[in-house]
Amino acid sequence: MAKKQVVSTTINGQQEEFLCEPRQTLLEVLRDVLDMTGTKEGCSNGNCGACTVLLNGRPIDSCLVLAVEVEGAEIETIEGVAPAGGLHPLQTAFLEQAALQCGICTPGFIMQAKALLEQKPNPTEREIRFYLAGNLCRCTGYDKIVRAVQQAATAQQEVQV
């Protein structure tokens, strides 16, 4: 068996060191080694986006990243999104718009939408749909998700004014 390697990264602002085999994906390490099970596995082949996390600020499918690749990188997962004792505007909006049913796609959608709003605080509906095209949801039919992202965008802008 290939030797395990030590990988040091920053996850949700915290320095982390873990031991993993080269064949383990970032998704597997997050869930099985670090017990951060907020990030979900859907397809494990890059189609569904349930495993989306931010790698150096950009959303990627963590099932298509080897954990050994993230040496020195910064990672943000769903566990780091809510401020202490509260919810992120996207989380509030997803709840208020009922933008989830079974919820397995939700952490991925939140991470992806968060990256979108950081790049484009006021996206059009078309921009939202294109940006979220790599995230699949079998329950909601997407409209509620799009509305939740719109609500969060408005809420974030109001906070800034």
Partner 1 sequence: MRDFDYAAPESVQQAVQLLSQANGSGRPLAGGTDLIDQVRMRRHEPDLIVDIKRIPELNVLEIGADGFRLGAAVPCWKITSNEDISRQYTALGDSCSIIGGVQIQNRASVGGNLCNSGPAADSIPSLIALEAVCVIMGPDGQREVPVAEFCTGPSTNVLKPGELLVELRFPPRPAHSGSHYRRFIPRNEMDIAVVGVGVSVVLDESGENFVSGRISLGAVAAKPLFAEEASSLLAGRPVNDETLAAAAAAARAIATPIDDMRGTVEFRQHVTGVLTERVLQRAIERARSGEPGSLHP
* CB closer to partner 1 out of 97 and 135: 135
Nearest to 128 by CA among 108, 114, 141: 114
CB of 65 to ligand FES, least distance (A): 9
CB of 46 to ligand FES, least distance (A): 5
The correct pick among 5, 10, 12, 44 for binding ligand FES (CB under 6 A) is 44
Backbone phi and psi for residue 122, each to the nearest 5 degrees, phi listed first: -130, 65
How far is the CA of 21 from the CAs of 2, 7, 65, 67, in angstroms?
7, 10, 13, 8
The correct pick among 19, 22, 32, 46 for binding ligand FES (CB under 6 A) is 46
| Residue 51 contacts ligand FES per CB under 6 A | yes
| Residue 12 contacts ligand FES per CB under 6 A | no
Return d(Cα 117, Cα 127) in angstroms, integer: 11
Nearest to 73 by CA among 2, 132, 135, 18: 18
DSSP category for residue 98: T
CB of 99 to partner 1, least distance (A): 19
Q: Where are the alpha helices (DSSP H) in the chain?
A: 26-28, 89-96, 106-119, 125-131, 143-160
Side-chain half-sphere exposure of 2, counting CA atoms within 13 A = 9
The correct pick among 81, 137, 148, 152 for binding ligand FES (CB under 6 A) is 137
| Residue 141 contacts ligand FES per CB under 6 A | no
Please report, as ranges, the residues that interact with partner 1 according to CB under 8 A.
1-3, 5, 21-25, 44-47, 49, 52, 55, 58-61, 63-66, 68-69, 71, 112, 115, 130-131, 133-135
CB of 8 to partner 1, least distance (A): 14
User: Which residues of the chain form contacts with ligand FES (CB under 6 A)?
Assistant: 41-44, 46-51, 61, 63, 100-105, 137-140
